[in-house]
Amino acid sequence: MTKRERILVTGASGQIGTVLVQELRSIYGIDQVIESDIKHPGNSDGPFVGLDILNAQRLGEIVDDFEITQIYHLAAILSASGEWNPMKTWNVNLNGYLSILELAKEKRIDKIFYPSTIAVFGKTTPRQNTPQHTAMLPETIYGISKQSGELLSNYYNQKYGVDVRSLRYPGIIGYQSIPSGGTTDYAVEIFHYALKEQKYTCFLAADTTLPMIYMPDAIRATIELMEAPSDSIQVRTSYNLSGVSFSPEEIAAEITKHIPEFTIDYEPDFRQKIAESWTATIDDTMAREQWKWKEEYDLARITEDMLVHLRGIL
């Protein structure tokens, strides 16, 4: 059954957007979900509009022309790329988001999804079982911009009643694309190299444990959060969300169970420092209690599923 929503997805051509759009279209109908990005998606099966999120006037026109009711705001510059151009990253990640919050304040849209990230944490944050409400001193411009976005979400909700919902995504693992610009990207790249070359040089050190989540769990969490009754959503900054935590040596060991000849070596680069400033495991009790979140994929299941799908693609 289709619902009478009209959804705009910004940053729709990226790693999450290409999968999220398909899922939203299966729920709401192809023409009800409008993709937008500065780059064209490879193989879109529905409406796409070119949109630089910094063009607030064009954003407003699209919202009015398509009678948009919800925005999933994915457009952003990620942690590693962000360090090459901090001013642009701040501008895209924060000012782009402000235009959307303003549209919601003017009641031109009903609901917003804002993806935050484990990059909002820093070295003052407890590394294990990171609490929902905790010390945060992010060290990347990406983390700073996303944490500021969380605070703006809460502000617009408290002051203007904007229905904004948000998740602090861990690193997302999926077979649908090879991510770029992030610090957790190694956990996808490793599968491609394992299948094509049976070896991988990792840009993080062997024991760097980070929180991760499999794409189907991330997409399901997003839609479950957006469909939860408004009064169950107690956190309007962003919810901690946990899937699975592992290090490069642990995922390599899991891959070796399927590809015994696979080998890994380690050449940590500037992304090691970023990873070390993040946390290792996440306490997402509030998401579990308030809108009944539960992940389905552990490391063994992720590895098996990634290899099955990539064997069919590569």
Name the residues annotated as catalytic.
Answer: 142
Strands, E, within 60-206: which ranges?
70-73, 111-117, 163-169, 171-173, 199-202
Which residue's CB is nearer to ligand AKB, number 164 or number 218? Answer: 218
92 lies in the site for ligand NAD, by CB under 6 A: yes
Contact between residue 274 and residue 203 where contact means Cβ atoms under 8 Å apart: no
Contact residues for ligand AKB, defined by CB under 6 A:
78-79, 117-119, 142, 171, 182-184
171 to 190, contacts with ligand NAD by CB under 6 A? 171-172, 179, 181-182, 184
| Secondary structure (3-state) at 240 | strand
Which residue's CB is nearer to ligand AKB, number 145 or number 184? Answer: 184
Q: How many CB atoms lie within 10 A of CB 149?
A: 27
Output the smallest distance, CB 104 to ligand AKB, in A: 23
Pick from ligand AKB, ligand NAD, none: which does 92 bind, CB < 5 to 8 A by kind?
ligand NAD
Compute how many residues bind ligand NAD; rule: CB under 6 A: 29
Contact between residue 150 and residue 237 where contact means Cβ atoms under 8 Å apart: yes
Output the smallest distance, CB 200 to ligand NAD, in A: 18
The rounded distance, in Å, linking the Cα atoms of 81 and 89 is 8
Output the smallest distance, CB 115 to ligand AKB, in A: 8
Pick from ligand AKB, ligand NAD, none: which does 11 bind, CB < 5 to 8 A by kind?
ligand NAD
45 phi and psi, to 5 degrees? Answer: -110, 15
52 to 91, contacts with ligand NAD by CB under 6 A? 52-54, 74-78
Which residue's CB is nearer to ligand AKB, number 9 or number 241? Answer: 241
Q: Name the DSSP class of 130.
A: B
Separation of CA 245 from chain center: 16
Half-sphere exposure of 157 (CA within 13 A, CB side): 22
Which residue's CB is nearer to ligand AKB, number 112 or number 118? Answer: 118
Closest C-alpha to 228, from 284, 152, 289, 153: 289
- The interface mask with ligand NAD, positions 153-172, x = CB under 6 A, is ----------------x-xx
Which residue's CB is nearer to ligand NAD, number 89 or number 157? Answer: 89
Strands of the sheet with 171-173, listed across from one edge: 171-173, 210-214, 244-246
| Secondary structure (3-state) at 32 | helix
Nearest residue to the partner ligand AKB, using Cβ: 182
- Residue 292, phi-psi category: left (phi > 0), alpha (psi -120 to 50), beta (remainder): left
Which residue's CB is nearer to ligand NAD, number 16 or number 162? Answer: 16
Output the smallest distance, CB 140 to ligand AKB, in A: 8
**Residue 292, CA distances (Å) to 3, 83, 300 in order:** 22, 36, 23
Size of the chain in residues: 314
Output the smallest distance, CB 118 to ligand AKB, in A: 5
The structure tokens 């993040």 sit at: 278
Pick from ligand AKB, ligand NAD, none: which does 79 bind, CB < 5 to 8 A by kind?
ligand AKB
Pick from ligand AKB, ligand NAD, none: which does 13 bind, CB < 5 to 8 A by kind?
ligand NAD
- The interface mask with ligand NAD, positions 10-49, x = CB under 6 A, is xx-xxxxx-------------------xxx----------
